[in-house]
A and B are shown apart, each in its own frame.
Chain A
Amino acid sequence: MSIWPSGFLMAFNHQEQRGSGTYDLDIPAMAASMRTRQTLVLGLALFLLLVAFVAAICLGSTAIPLQSVIGALSGQLANGNPDFDIVLSIRLPRAITACLAGAALSVAGLQMQTLMRNPLADPFVLGITSGASLGVALVVLASGTTVGAFLSSGMGLGGGFAIVGAATLGGLLVLVPVLAISVRLQNPSTVLIFGLMTGYAVSAFVTLLVAGARPDQLERWIAWGFGSFSAVTWTELQVLAPVAMLGLVVACASIKPLNALLLGENYAGSMGLNTRAMRLVTMAVASMLAGAVTAFCGPIGFLGVAVPHMARAMLKSSDHRVLVPATILLGALMALLAQLVSLLPTNLGVLPLNAVTALIGAPVVVFVILRSRNGVFAG
């Protein structure tokens, strides 16, 4: 005797239960019904981004009226006009930097979250920030010494590029071994732990270094740690912009494999994805994006981990075809908003950007997550 009554099996064999024709399987129509909400979200994000961009140019230590901004941008204001100078040499590069940095960090965060299949992953999990801060700490500690003077004068840019160079080198110093090991490890979560541990170790080393710093050195060190979009001028943008754009283009081009990775590396591989190459490229791109932003703007936390979740919740989708563009738009928008909030008149002067991103971002993310029924990464 079997526990299966044979009639039971026969029913399934013949699939009598299949509801043939009762369900409408019009896939293009299903896709279209989802698209309405997504178009709306993307459209709204784009509109808000434009508003915030203009606001970021108008507002600052002195407010500039909208007409002057338009005049300056369209070339109607003369070169000597103070508004023209402020808009073109300070506000515009700052706003562009905010957009690029926000988009870059957020997209890097999205890539890491998908790759690691971990909702808490962000572009810094691989220890890039720690590496960058090591480089910066070394430059800052060298300042006031002959080496520091050589570095600063050699760059001819008041030490700005020395810090950027040091941050880049420091980031690479951590990144290269992490990437080399990550290609060998089976499980992406192991990579995450390896990156985190490397980050902790390097941070500890930096703390030891900084503990012996002079007060003026400490001040420079802390100022870098606050994060800022203002230090980037057109000169620096010539480096930051192409790097960020390249990273964003690669992210857009890898939408198809990112979607496959939603099923995990095993399934993605079984569907034709070279998972190791994908892992290497994704990590390299995410690191490049995060490393460039950290080098030029300092460690700006939070956007990378938060914005992808906001995009998922607003779109109600994990599909990278909409998630990548939405993350770019929302990332740029959030960075501009943080920039605007940091200008709020307080007796602290300009607020540290790092604090602002977390202060305005954390409640938004909590709100978004609590509202979405399935949680952020529900399985």
Chain B
Amino acid sequence: MTPSLKTHDLAVGYRSRGKSRTVLRDINVQVSPGELVCLLGVNGIGKSTLMRTLARMEPALGGSVAINGADITRMSQYDLARNVAVVLTERVAVGSMPAFRLVELGRYPHVGWSGLLSEEDRAIVRDAVIAVGAEHLARREINELSDGERQRIMIARALAQRPAVLLLDEPAAFLDVSARVEIVATLRRLARERNVAVVLSIHDLDLSLRMADTIWLIDGAGRMHIGAPEDLLADGSISSAFSGPNIAFSAGDRTFKIREHPYGKAFVGGTGEGLGMARTVLEREGFEITHAPEGAQLMVTMNASGWEARGRLGTNHGASFGELARFVRQEAGATLQTEPQP
């Protein structure tokens, strides 16, 4: 099967006044129809530049990009638009226009100079609106949509282009938590149902690890790591790319942890669903969680009615995690006074 998108030794970067600055080089990636790829990496590492180069909005500084086996530099603007659709970070300000009109613009590369839509075009527009679940938005003005709703319409517009490859540069950037999940879940479903190759850059590590078929991870040195989320978790590349001097990414439970534990060790025991929560409270307050009660400066026991804690200041108990946190903070202050840690 020909990959929908394939790069060969691609180098991307900027070119201005005859000088070029390469930000990423030797990129060899490919995406199959129906595959969802999440592009991860810290800000400024070149994610957007890569996305723009894949869409031919920037020229490649080296190597090549092929769509369905054809080099994009040899395609006409229309040909390219019939094969690649993009959704960009920039917010659109179209003035007054109902959402379905904006989706109709997606038919641009398929209709004649007059821009008039055929019956078939209208069916495709309708289908694109339904595919992103935006039937209820179609009549509304673009101005009046929320960011998440507008992004849905922009994706419908991209789908109306009937592309083989859909590139989205941080489509979830301005969205709240639920809208972000919705958008990525929609993209995953679209990739599968429509057999479109979808590549999106995203900052939400957890969400992309759950949703992506493949992760393209750009590490701090500008190297690209490619693999299923679990593979990149297992080989430690995600942990090392996202860990810093003060935080560590733990592959096991896929969360970030604060490295500093200035107040000593704490042990959490007992039963119930609150165990994990109690641990996160203690970690946040600066205690290292130990797996054995020996040597722990703070002992917390979870039970049916809440928590019980024993530290230097004596014992206390309560029901809410907020109360636990307050107790732990007092305990931390006491720890600092008695035996400051290096």
Inter-chain contacts of A259 with B (CB < 8 A):
105, 115
Contact with A along B27-61 (1 / 0, CB 8 A): 00000000000000000000000000001010000
> Any chain A CB within 8 A of the CB of B78?
yes
Contacts of A262 in B (CB 8 A): 92, 94-95, 97, 105
Picked from B93, B95, B101, B133, the residue with its CB within 8 Å of the CB of A17 is B133
B 87-113 binary contact with A (CB < 8 Å = 1; else 0): 010111111111011101110110101
Chain A residues with CB under 8 A of B188: 13
Q: Does A378 contact B (CB under 8 A)?
A: yes
CA of A270 to CA of B54 in the docked complex: distance in angstroms? 11
Binds A, one of B179-187, B294-302, B333-341: B179-187
Q: Are B96 and A267 in contact (CB under 8 A)?
A: no
* B77 surroundings in chain A (CB, below 8 A): 269, 272-274
Q: Is the CB of A272 within 8 A of B78?
A: yes
Q: How far is the CB of A267 from chain B (nearest CB, A)?
A: 7
With a cutoff of 8 Å between Cβ atoms, the chain A residues found around residue B104 in the complex are: 27
Binding site for B on A (CB under 8 A): 1-4, 8-9, 12-13, 15, 17-20, 22-23, 25, 27-28, 30, 34, 117, 253, 255-256, 259-260, 262-264, 266-267, 269-274, 312, 316-319, 321, 374, 376-379
- Which 4 A-B pairs give the minimum distances between C-beta atoms? A379-B93, A318-B95, A272-B81, A256-B115
B120 at the interface (CB under 8 A from A): no
Show 27 A/B contacts (Cβ-Cβ < 8 Å), sorted by A.
A1-B253, A1-B280, A3-B206, A17-B133, A20-B135, A22-B135, A27-B126, A28-B122, A30-B98, A30-B138, A30-B139, A34-B98, A117-B93, A255-B114, A256-B108, A256-B113, A256-B115, A259-B105, A266-B57, A266-B88, A269-B77, A274-B77, A318-B97, A377-B95, A378-B95, A379-B92, A379-B95
Distance (Å) between the CB of B151 and the closest chain A CB? Answer: 13
Q: How far is the CA of A9 from the CA of B106 in the complex (A)?
A: 29
Select from chain B the residue with minimum beta-carbon distance to A186. B16
B57 A23 Cβ-Cβ under 8 A: no
**Hey, which chain A residues are within 8 Å of B255, CB to CB?**
1-2
| Interface membership of B82, Cβ < 8 A | yes
Q: A2-B254, A256-B115 are in contact. List 10 more A-B contacts (CB 8 A).
A: A4-B207, A13-B188, A20-B135, A23-B136, A117-B93, A259-B105, A272-B77, A374-B141, A377-B93, A379-B91
CB within 8 Å for A312 and B95 given contacts A1-B253, A271-B109: yes
B176 CB, nearest partner CB in chain A, Å: 13
Encode contact with A along B166-200: 1 for CB under 8 Å, 0 otherwise: 00000000000000011001101100000000000
Contacts of A255 in B (CB 8 A): 114-115
* A23-B189 contact given A273-B108, A318-B95, CB 8 Å threshold: no
Beyond A256-B115, A319-B101, whether A8 also contacts B108 by CB under 8 A is: no
Query: Separation in Å of the B272 CB from the closest CB of chain A?
Result: 15
Residues in A with CB closer than 8 Å to B276 are: 1
Considering the chains assembled together, what is the distance between the CA atoms of A269 and B253 in angstroms? 43
Tell me whether A272 and B95 are in contact (CB under 8 A).
no
Which B residues are CB-close (under 8 A) to A272?
77-78, 80-82, 108-109
Given contacts A25-B126, A266-B88, contact A316 B96 (CB under 8 A): yes
CA distance A19 to B94 in the complex (A): 27
A15 to B126, CA, bound (A): 18
How far, in angstroms, from A21 to B332 measured CA to CA in the complex?
A: 58
- Looking at A255, A376, A378, the one whose CB has the most chain B CB atoms below 10 A away is A378
Are A271 and B181 interface neighbours, CB within 8 A? no
Does any Cβ of A come within 8 Å of B278's Cβ? no
In the complex where A2-B206, A25-B126, A270-B81 touch, is A15 in contact with B92 (Cβ < 8 A)?
no
Least Cβ–Cβ distance between A169 and chain B, in angstroms:
33
Q: How far is the CA of A317 from the CA of B138 in the complex (A)?
A: 15
Q: Are B133 and A15 in contact (CB under 8 A)?
A: yes
Would A23 and B93 be within 8 Å (CB), given that A2-B255, A8-B181, A256-B108 are in contact? no
- For the complex, is B86 an interface residue (Cβ under 8 Å from A)? yes
A321 to B105, CA, bound (A): 12
Q: Which residues of B contact A378 (CB under 8 A)?
A: 93, 95-96, 143
B138 contacts A23, C-beta separation under 8 Å: yes
Bound CA span A318–B98, Å: 10
Tell me if B85 is interfacial: C-beta within 8 Å of chain A.
yes
Please, which residues of chain A bring their CB within 8 A of the CB of B70?
none
Q: Is the CB of B97 within 8 A of A25?
A: no
Supposing A1-B276, A19-B135, A256-B108 touch, asked if A270 and B96 sit within 8 A by C-beta, the answer is no
CB distance from A280 to the nearest CB of B (A): 15
Task: Give every chain B residue within 8 A of A264 (Cβ-Cβ).
Answer: 90, 92
Using Cβ atoms and an 8 Å threshold, which residues of chain A touch B84? 270
Chain B residues positioned under 8 Å from A317 (CB to CB): 96-97
With A263-B94, A272-B109, A312-B95 as known contacts, state yes or no: A9 contacts B129, CB within 8 Å: no
CB of B274 to closest CB in A, whole Å = 12
Cβ–Cβ < 8 Å partners of A376 in chain B:
95
